[in-house]
Amino acid sequence: MIRALPARLLRQTGPVERVAVAVLLAVLLVGLVVAPFTTSPVTELRGLSAWAPLGRDHLGRNVLARLVGGAGSAAVPFVWAWGVTALGVVACAACSWAGGLVRAAFGAVTGVLGAIPRFVWVLLALSVYGRSFAVLGVAAGLAFLPSAAAVVDARIAPWRTDPSVQADLAHGVPRRAVLWERLLLWECGPDLLRQTLGLFGFVVVLEATLAYLGFAVGEPWPSWGNAVVFDWGRSDVTAVARLAPLVTLWAAAWLATVASGPREQP
């Protein structure tokens, strides 16, 4: 079943989701592996060149290098957020499967979490624990958890009494395999993939918004949000150099958000 899972995810996703997944993987690869932690400021001539096809920013840095380096501003908090959300989703699946008071208690906890606006959570966390991508990611994960948990609970709770699950159990499939392999990965897999894309879009927009408000993680990390905030509106930076970070950020957020939305099964 696990071996057949990639094929199921491919069948259950449309072209927009596949492109979004490709973009997400590229950002993770670039942001966590390829991109250096800092880009060396290049203070040569401003303007487009073969080495700087997107121009240079207000400090003369290569915008392309800065965008590549800035992928980490999406990738690092996303990885933290995904980890927190994944742990929460696993707990939610176990509680939904258990049912009764356990499920009700977990629902109450996520209900309280969900009642507080996401942005407030993140601002609170950054204020208390300081500005870092790890704090940003953990807070984003906690803020996103209620919606992901609601999706998982809505899928798993009715399955407890479903004839198909009864058939699996009567066939001798262990309960843990029914819950984790069959229900969480197989049945919820396509939904969880969409939730993952939604989380990515949320993190990207969150980081940019914090940058605009002056709460972003500062230099030397070349975040996409900072690139937009500091270069937009400056007359000494070329239009291409101003637009490139904005387009990158907008495209990543738009693609992830659209791909995570509800759609008809292909």
Partner 1 sequence: MRVEGLAVRAGDGALLTDVSFQVEPGELVALTGPSGSGKTVLARTLLGVLDASPGRVAGSVDPGGAAWLPQDGLRSLDPLLRVREVADRESLAAVGLSEAGDLYPHQLSGGMAKRVALARALSTRRPFLVADEPEAAVDADLRERLHQHLRTVADAGVGVLWITHDTAAARARADRCLALRDGRLVPFEPPDEPGPPAPTGSPGDVVLAVDAVRFAYRAWRKTSPVLHHAALTVRAGERVALLGPSGSGKSTLAQLIVGLRRPDAGTVLLRGEPPVPGRHSQLLTQDPRAMLVEDLPLDALLHRSARLHGRPPAAVAEALEAVGLSHRAGARPHELSGGELRRAGIARVRLARPSLLVADEPLAALDAPLRGAIARVLFDAVGPEGGLLFITHDMAFAERAAHRTIRMDAGRTA
* Alpha carbon distance 69, 52 (integer Å): 14
The answer to whether 202 touches 118, Cβ cutoff 8 Å, is yes
> Can you tell me which of 164, 218, 219, 232 binds partner 1, judged by CB under 8 A?
164
Stretch that binds partner 1, among 6-14, 35-43, 140-148, 229-237 (CB under 8 A): 6-14
Site string for partner 1, 139-158 (x = CB under 8 A): -------------------x
> Which is closer to partner 1, CB of 57 or CB of 168?
168
Min CB(164)–partner 1 separation in Å: 4
CA distances from 70 to 67, 99, 223, 247 (A): 5, 43, 4, 13
Stretch that binds partner 1, among 53-61, 115-123, 161-169, 209-217 (CB under 8 A): 161-169
Residue 167 binds partner 1, judged by CB under 8 A: yes
Question: Residue type at 83?
Answer: G
> Can you tell me which of 58, 131, 155, 182 binds partner 1, judged by CB under 8 A?
182
Cβ contacts of 52-55, under 8 Å, gap ≥ 24? 54/240, 54/241, 54/244, 55/237, 55/238, 55/240, 55/241, 55/244
Q: Other CB atoms closer than 10 Å to residue 179's CB: what's the count?
A: 21
The answer to whether 251 touches 259, Cβ cutoff 8 Å, is no
Residue 15 binds partner 1, judged by CB under 8 A: no
Residue 234 binds partner 1, judged by CB under 8 A: no
Min CB(141)–partner 1 separation in Å: 29
Min CB(99)–partner 1 separation in Å: 11
Task: Considering only residues 186 through 205, tell me which ones interact with partner 1, judged by CB under 8 A.
Answer: 186-187
Token representation of residue 57: 């920013």
Min CB(234)–partner 1 separation in Å: 50
Min CB(44)–partner 1 separation in Å: 56
> Which is closer to partner 1, CB of 162 or CB of 236?
162
Residue 104 binds partner 1, judged by CB under 8 A: no
> Which is closer to partner 1, CB of 4 or CB of 239?
4
> Can you tell me which of 15, 50, 128, 163 binds partner 1, judged by CB under 8 A?
163
Q: Other CB atoms closer than 10 Å to residue 193's CB: what's the count?
A: 18
Question: Residue type at 47?
Answer: G
Cβ contacts of 97-103, under 8 Å, gap ≥ 24? 97/156, 97/160, 97/179, 97/183, 99/157, 99/160, 103/153, 103/157
Cα 179 to chain centroid distance, Å, stands at 25
> Can you tell me which of 169, 213, 220, 232 binds partner 1, judged by CB under 8 A?
169
The residues binding partner 1 (CB under 8 A) are 1, 3-4, 8, 11-12, 158, 161-164, 166-173, 182, 186-187
